Amino acid sequence: MKRTSKYLILLLLIIFSVRGFILSIEYEFHGNPKKIKESEEIMISHLDSKGYGRGDILAIKGIYNFTAPGGRKYGGSFVLKDTLEYYEYELHNGKVFELDDIPEK
């Protein structure tokens, strides 16, 4: 019984370490889903400051760019109902950087 419990504990430790390794690789290439959602919320608040409400945004999609330098990995794109044009943005250390000129409302 004692020997079986040692093997079981060892097996659990191996499973958890492999799981942690896989999750770290996934976050490296696909990004942290919470931070992607946070980047979308930051952009929505930025659009609020430009006069656009949540109802004016047709679609918004946050992305993670693993090839970008450290502080610029998160960004995304969105479509406004008024213009039906595609706009892109990046977050540089938490600040919004517009890749396309977003018109004021």
**pLDDT for residue 82 is more than 90:** no
Structure confidence by residue, pLDDT tens digits, 64-76:
887 777 777 889 9
User: Which pair of tokens denotes residue 30?
Assistant: 């696909």
Cα 36 to Cα 74: distance, rounded to the nearest angstrom: 7
CA distances in angstroms from 92 to 41, 55, 72, 80, listed in the order given: 15, 26, 5, 22
Between 21 and 78, the more confident residue is 78
Closest to 44 measured CA to CA, from 100, 89, 101, 103: 89
